[in-house]
Structure 1
Amino acid sequence: MPASDLLEVACDESGSDGENLTGGNTDVFAHASVRLTVEQAAAAVQEIRNRIRSPAEEYKANHLLREKHRAVLEWLLAPAGPIHGHAHVHLTEKRFFVVDRAVDLLLGPGTAQAEAVTLFRVGRGVFGDERWREFLAAANQLLRVRNDGEPRAPVQVFFREVDALRRAHAGTGISDVLDRLAAARPRADAYRAGLGDGPILVPVLNPLLPAIVATAAHWSADGRPVQLVHDRQNMLTPERIAWIAAMTRRAGVDLAGLRLVEARRDPRVQVADFLAGIARKIASDELNGRGDPPLTALLRPYVGTTSVWGDERSWVTLAPADEDRSPVP
């Protein structure tokens, strides 16, 4: 296939905490991609260096997020900047991702999305902060592949939480979801038992792999085959890359390939790294009620509408102007 027929896109991520999605260092996972030539990306990186003038050998998003470099950050994201119209960010709200995956596992794929959204949006207010955190932590442990304790302990802890919440909140608007979760214990037992059968190809709690599939789908919209160039990741084994290819084919996306490179050797991946870190921080600030409206407005055109996001207030703020509903996970 002639190179001119391929749409080559460079990618990187920010906010990976492994399987610890409810107690890690970050509450948002961002996967960014840019469609630039190597020359265009190199020029953007050099311009950032010229403007920031830090002696650091390798620049990261934190350089641009410092208040003293605010003007550089705004230049990078602005409509007249080097990446506007040539970049995309897929966001994952980690706590919602845990709830969504747990409900999907226990109640079945597809039909459980509404229940996950209801549970996430109502749960904290109904349960209270402390019990909500305990529920999220129990759901996280239930889904984790790695478990250093007794194999059945995560199931016992999770359903003990569910039973306690059912008793405390019977007859409320959330009791039906809790009742359905309580009845799904056999599914949880089967899931935990299956984790002992060997290496897990696609961990339920890993947001990177579905984000890559979503990224390929976004860029395939113009009809050309998409070639992804991605920063090296231990998660991206040949088997998982094959899974990504299979998922994109199932979605009708023409993914020509996924090639791994060292970020410092490809300026396009460096720009994607900048954008991922910047987007994660801006989105996290919105999620936690400390948003910066001018920066959020600059980020909005880059945010993908299929991002996995449950917080309605912050999503309305983050999503592109023509998208005012919660994204579909």
Structure 2
Amino acid sequence: MSGNLADGERAGAARPCLEIACDESGSDGENLTGGNTDVFAHASVSLSVTAAAAAVRETRDRIRSPAEEYKANHLLREKHRAVLEWLLATDGPIHGRARVHLMEKTYFVVDRAVSLLLDDPEGAVTLFREGRRTFGEEGWRAFLDAANRLLRVRPNGDPVEIFYGTADSLARAHPGTDAARILERLAATRPRAESYRAGCADGPPLIPVLNPLLPAIVRTAALWSGDGRPVTLVHDRQNMLTPDRIAWIEQTARRAGVGLAGVRLVVARDDARVQVADFLAGIARKIASDELNGRADPALTALLRPYVDPASVWGDARSRALLADPVAG
């Protein structure tokens, strides 16, 4: 998806920086298991300001809403289905020039908790895939909420006691299962959890464990700099994106060999490219959520698939296969 060498550019000459505009949808802070959305989406577009403005203008002309600022919800209304299909179509204004990184929030919580306590990503996958079937909906929800509470910077109650009490109760109720065996391993990790909580008590960490935005931005930079061309990310302003965190993003990307030249914040309504990224982020989040919850619209899923980052964060193999384009990237 990265840009090609400009016509006439000499081999070996310094390559110009590619400017990518970004926005997100589905941010609920640290409440990943009980918020308003179950998918987080981070979209990015490689469009000129002129091309993006033309896409926004055409969207407005087709929808004809008096709203001053258009959002994804305008395109997701059934009466504007044709406009949504036009935007995502292969002959539409963003095809081949846009990507979206998706995160299934509940899996993100399980992955972060198990990785922090056991340093076992595969264990997180097993627990996520087996947990609901083994523990039932109520038991699984209790575990997810306890894990979310444990990792939050400012939780209610005693998060360590609640987490380990919940894990122990579920493991005892379902002995011998793959999911229970992972919870039994977690029982020995209480000192690590208490150390984590003590660190949070000293002040909010620079990089909150439960925040999906920061790793998504690093991944976005990697998506667009895959051919060695440096990129600058132009991002909608977010309270989370402080100067220190932007520095962390840049340093993390560079340590990973990603050619991120920098991150620049703008007001979305002042940059048509960010507005287009906002459209895609909101659309992708809704389509992905419908897919996860058995409400899929196959035609929309097919239209979205070429835009989805194959490294999106899914715990469910079926969803990954349906939503990710295996040849994209």
* Common topology (TM > 0.5): yes
Residue 321 of structure 1 deviates from its aligned partner by: 4.4
Measure the CA separation in 1 of the matches of 2:68 and 2:178.
55
Out of 153, 163, 187, the position equivalent to 1:145 is: 153
Whether the 8 Å CA contact 2:41–2:101 is kept in 1: the answer is yes
Measure the CA separation in 1 of the matches of 2:269 and 2:315.
34
1:99 aligns with 2:104: no
User: Paired residue for 2:135?
Assistant: 127
Measure the CA separation in 1 of the matches of 2:173 and 2:291.
31
Aligned-partner SS, 1:184: helix
Measured against aligned partners, the alpha-carbon deviations of 1:33-54 in whole angstroms (never above 9, x if no partner) come to 0000000000000000110011
Out of 74, 83, 86, the position equivalent to 2:94 is: 83
Aligned-partner SS, 2:19: strand
Measured against aligned partners, the alpha-carbon deviations of 1:219-266 in whole angstroms (never above 9, x if no partner) come to 001211110000000000000000001110111001111000000000
Measure the CA separation in 1 of the matches of 2:108 and 2:227.
29
**Quick one: structure 1 residues 199 and 173, their matched pair in 2 at CA, closer, same or farther if it must change by over 3 Å?**
closer
Residue 4 of structure 1 deviates from its aligned partner by: 6.6
- What letter is aligned with 2:311? T
Measure the CA separation in 1 of the matches of 2:269 and 2:15.
25
Residue 286 of structure 1 deviates from its aligned partner by: 0.1
User: Paired residue for 1:327?
Assistant: none
Out of 313, 317, 320, the position equivalent to 2:318 is: 313
Out of 270, 279, 301, the position equivalent to 1:274 is: 279
Aligned-partner SS, 1:79: coil
Whether the 8 Å CA contact 1:231–1:263 is kept in 2: the answer is yes
User: Paired residue for 1:326?
Assistant: none
User: Paired residue for 2:52?
Assistant: 41
Residue 306 of structure 1 deviates from its aligned partner by: 1.3
Matches within 5 A, 1:247-258: 247-258=252-263
Percentage identity across aligned positions? Answer: 73
CA-based RMSD of the aligned residues comes to 1.3
Aligned length: 316
User: Paired residue for 1:17?
Assistant: 28
User: Paired residue for 1:29?
Assistant: 40
Residue 113 of structure 1 deviates from its aligned partner by: 1.1
Q: Which runs of 5+ in 1 are unaligned?
A: 324-329
**Quick one: structure 1 residues 291 and 264, their matched pair in 2 at CA, closer, same or farther if it must change by over 3 Å?**
same
Measured against aligned partners, the alpha-carbon deviations of 1:40-86 in whole angstroms (never above 9, x if no partner) come to 00000000011001111100000000011000000000000010000
1:221 aligns with 2:229: no
User: Paired residue for 2:208?
Assistant: 203
Whether the 8 Å CA contact 1:232–1:262 is kept in 2: the answer is yes
- What letter is aligned with 1:25? N
Residue 173 of structure 1 deviates from its aligned partner by: 2.2
Aligned-partner SS, 1:5: coil
Q: Which runs of 5+ in 2 are unaligned?
A: 1-12
Out of 181, 189, 193, the position equivalent to 2:194 is: 189
Aligned-partner SS, 1:13: strand
Measure the CA separation in 2 of the matches of 1:181 and 1:51.
54
Whether the 8 Å CA contact 2:171–2:181 is kept in 1: the answer is no
- What letter is aligned with 1:31? H
User: Paired residue for 2:75?
Assistant: 64
User: Paired residue for 1:245?
Assistant: 250
Whether the 8 Å CA contact 1:102–1:139 is kept in 2: the answer is yes
Residue 26 of structure 1 deviates from its aligned partner by: 0.2
Out of 153, 165, 169, the position equivalent to 1:164 is: 169
- What letter is aligned with 1:107? L
Measure the CA separation in 1 of the matches of 2:127 and 2:92.
40
Whether the 8 Å CA contact 2:207–2:245 is kept in 1: the answer is yes
Measure the CA separation in 2 of the matches of 1:121 and 1:148.
28
- What letter is aligned with 1:33? S
Whether the 8 Å CA contact 1:300–1:321 is kept in 2: the answer is no
Residue 97 of structure 1 deviates from its aligned partner by: 0.2
- What letter is aligned with 1:45? V
Aligned-partner SS, 2:24: strand
Residue 171 of structure 1 deviates from its aligned partner by: 1.2
Deviating beyond 2 angstroms after TM superposition, the runs of 4 or more aligned structure 1 residues are: 173-176
Residue 322 of structure 1 deviates from its aligned partner by: 4.1
Whether the 8 Å CA contact 2:43–2:281 is kept in 1: the answer is yes
